[in-house]
Copies of this chain bind each other. A is one copy, B any other.
Amino acid sequence: MNKQSPYIQILREHGHRITQARRIVLRVIEDAAGHYTSAQIIQAVEALDPRVGRASVFRALELFTRLGILRPTYIRGGMTPVYVLMSGGHHHHVICSECQVIHDFDDCGLDDMTRQLETRLNLRIDGHLLEFYGVCADCQAADA
């Protein structure tokens, strides 16, 4: 039994094949710890294995998003999202509105709220994304 990304296991459980394209895209995203746009992912994939085509990257991103492994989120000026890893179903970060730096953090303490919402709204919740917007210490210093 090889040690491998837990995400590979998710693919397997859902009956999807473990292809080279999917493996490479996953590796790129895990290495980058998220925060890559599609263009950056395509470029990094190309560097690792030029035989993987753009279309497969997009197809992999779409599949991973559908499976809850990734989540696109919009930062900085453009309308192209960056992809964050939803490890354990959730992700949390702070984005600086000035320099756009992203600071991930764990321990969001939303378990209670999640259970309350499930009861109150009568639904099942599998994961969440929590984003804070603000001004980081460096930018505050620079502004002063």
Contacts and interface: CB of A to CB of B under 8 A. Distances in A.
Interface stretch (A5-13, A14-22, A44-52, A61-69): A61-69
Contacts of A129: 129-131, 133
Contact of A125 (B73, B118, B128, B133): B133
Contacts of A2: none
Interface footprint category on A? 35 or more
Number of copies: 2
A88 interface: no
A122 B105 contact: no
Nearest to A101: B123
Interface of A: 38, 62, 65-66, 68, 71-74, 76-77, 79-81, 89, 94, 96-97, 103, 105, 108-110, 113-114, 117-118, 121-137, 140
